[in-house]
Amino acid sequence: MARLFDAYIIADWTAAEGKKLGENSVWIGVAKRDVRFRLYTETHNVATRTEGEAMIRTLLADHAKRGDRVLLGFDFSFGYPVGTAARLGLTETPAWSAVWKFVASNVVDKPDNTNNRYQVAAKMNRLMTDEAYPLWGAPAKQAQRWLTTTKPPQGTGDIPEYRATENAVRKGKLQPKSNWQMHGAGAVGGQTLVGIPMVRRLLEHLGPSAAVWPFGTGWRALDTADVEPLSVLVAEVWPSMWPTTAAEGEFKDQAQVRTTAEAFALMDEKGDLSKAFAPPKGTDEALIAQVEGEEGWILGVGA
């Protein structure tokens, strides 16, 4: 079976404020083939999200000139638990697109990395529950009526803490964070809020040559005919799923983007990547609709 992609780009995003290199900054890993079709990897580190977005556009443009198809993975959630759009009062369909539009119109993320993610989280809480949940976690100076420093004791009522994809991961040894958590070790909520607008801009910039999985493709196995018209397929990934050993002098995040890019390249080489885009066996139609319409899914979970 022919490979689906020629290159695999994995971005480890951050919600950090202030310019920063090294640990807990933006890392981009690229796995691609040389003129002899041997796989090799390179990594890039930039100090701000604006620089990261520009670098990704440059990398994609270089691959497009060569006629390469690229799998582009980001390590933050592309959706929120089912029902979020309705609770925010959003009526446009599909729900995922309405949430993306809401987030993009509210988040301000400046070139120096300063951003208003905590204010946006508080606004989402106000609209959804008029309480300090479901989003939680903020430094003391950012806490306010609708956003607390710690997880609220009343829980989230009928609001799911996790998406179906996190629940599928949690059946094993790995324990992903809820994307409601905005602050603290491993929290993904902030990255999600600053990441979604960037992916939305990227897709608008690339136009019909790009699609986002599973929202734009359907949650199903993809073959060469599905990806042939595309130059870029964007997917949500979770680097912690792939065993990583940092080489000497390598940062943990750097090793993770390299390892994840290599993992997808090897899956593609073996012909296993196609079915990684499909639901786990036995998935019912209701969950397929939920994932395609609002929540999204982490590539490789259940594959």
Distance CA(79)–CA(84), nearest Å, equals 9
Residue 155: the pLDDT is 57
Closest by CA to 238, choosing from 221, 219, 273, 263, is 263
Residue 127: the pLDDT is 97
Burial category of 249 from C-beta neighbours within 10 Å (exposed 0-12, middle 13-18, buried 19 and up): exposed
pLDDT band at 154 (very low <50, low <70, confident <90, very high): low
Q: What is the mean predicted confidence (pLDDT) over 254-270?
A: 95
Least confident of 25-29, 135-139, 171-175: 171-175
Radius of gyration of the chain (CA): 19
pLDDT digits 0-9 by tens, 159-195: 999 999 999 998 777 888 999 999 988 889 999 999 9
Regarding predicted confidence, which is higher, 81 or 39? 81
Distance CA(25)–CA(273), nearest Å, equals 28
Q: H helices within the chain, ranges in order?
A: 49-65, 84-87, 95-106, 117-128, 164-170, 189-206, 224-227, 252-270, 273-276, 285-290
For every residue of 197-244, DSSP letters joined together read HHHHHHHHHHGGGEEETTTTT-SS---HHHHTT-SEEEEE--GGGS--
pLDDT digits 0-9 by tens, 93-129: 999 999 999 999 999 999 999 999 999 999 999 999 9
Kindly state the percentage of the chain with pLDDT values over 70: 98
pLDDT at 244 over 90: no
Per the prediction, the chain carries an average pLDDT of 93
Dihedral of the CA atoms 139, 140, 143, 145 (nearest 10)?
150
Q: What is the mean predicted confidence (pLDDT) over 75-87?
A: 97
DSSP assigned state of 189:
H
pLDDT at 156 over 60: no
Q: Please, how many CA atoms are within 13 Å of residue 266, restricted to the half-sphere of its CB?
A: 10
Answer yes or no: are the C-beta atoms of 77 and 163 closer than 8 Å: yes
Q: Which amino acid is at 53?
A: E
Total residues found in the chain within this entry:
303
Q: What is the mean predicted confidence (pLDDT) over 29-49?
A: 91
